[in-house]
Amino acid sequence: MIVYGHQFASRMLLGTALYPSPAIMAEAIRAGNAAAVTASVRRESVGKAQASTGFWSLLQELRLPVLPNTAGCRTVKEAVTTAHMAREIFSTSWIKLEVIGDEDTLQPDVFGLVEAARILAEEGFQVFPYTTEDLVVAERLLGAGCRVLMPWGAPIGSARGLNNAYGLRTLRAHFPDVPIIVDAGLGVPSHASQAMELGCDGILLNTAIAKAGDPPRMAIAFSKAVEAGRLAYLAGALEPRDMAYPSTPQLGKPLLAAGG
């Protein structure tokens, strides 16, 4: 998986929130062979506060690329300001852009998202937009300068899986050369495998692993599911059909003639 010229070591990115402890978080990230980690800028503040939390030090110990995000931002101005803070704190032009439009579903405000993406892309940011599976919105985001799409599978933390597999399949068909990373709503490894079988390039997870009874073990399970789904996509999965299709050929089948 190559995004903005960076070749990721695997196809799974992991969040850093909600874990029982920093140690368990680090263990899960390593166990799942994560390619990168996301971090909310709200966890850090500029200057000496970084040293007091120790969170930045822990991320450095993981030796993984960090994708800061604008989690919780609800306006274009707030998202852009947070992105500027993230660039200073994490010394990266990457930004996972979130502009939330609905309190209950945490669905992206796609109008604000496109506007913020355009502003940030013009300022040299490499934007990873958290979006819906809407085809027209995807067109606008790519036109605004994004080079990757991060559609949700379902509302954040809902564990409902892929609410609109058709929409994701449509995105893949319309943008065959654009990296697509499913972000949010996956609950079990089979959800991740399904997304990869549709041709998506990667998965971004947090809650399903962080809130599991055994986060490191669940991270391993998701990692294997992502790999299996990708292999199935590359192998060319059998399309569903309405009628049975015999696995044993009829040719050469012995026939018993009626006695006479």
Q: What pLDDT, in 10s, does the model give residues 126-162? A: 999 999 999 999 999 999 999 999 999 999 999 999 9
Q: Which two tokens stand for residue 49?
A: 């506060």
pLDDT surpasses 90 at 53? no
Query: For residue 66, what are the contacts with CB-CB under 8 A and spacing of at least 6?
Result: 36, 37, 38, 39, 59, 90, 92, 94
Specify whether the CB–CB gap between 199 and 169 falls below 8 A.
yes
pLDDT band at residue 52 using 50, 70 and 90 as cut-offs: very low
Q: What pLDDT, in 10s, does the model give residues 4-37? A: 999 999 999 999 999 999 999 999 999 999 999 9
pTM for this prediction:
0.89
pLDDT band at residue 42 using 50, 70 and 90 as cut-offs: low
Residue with more model confidence, 60 or 236: 236
Active site amino acids = 96
Q: What pLDDT, in 10s, does the model give residues 191-234? A: 999 999 999 999 999 999 999 999 999 999 999 999 999 999 99
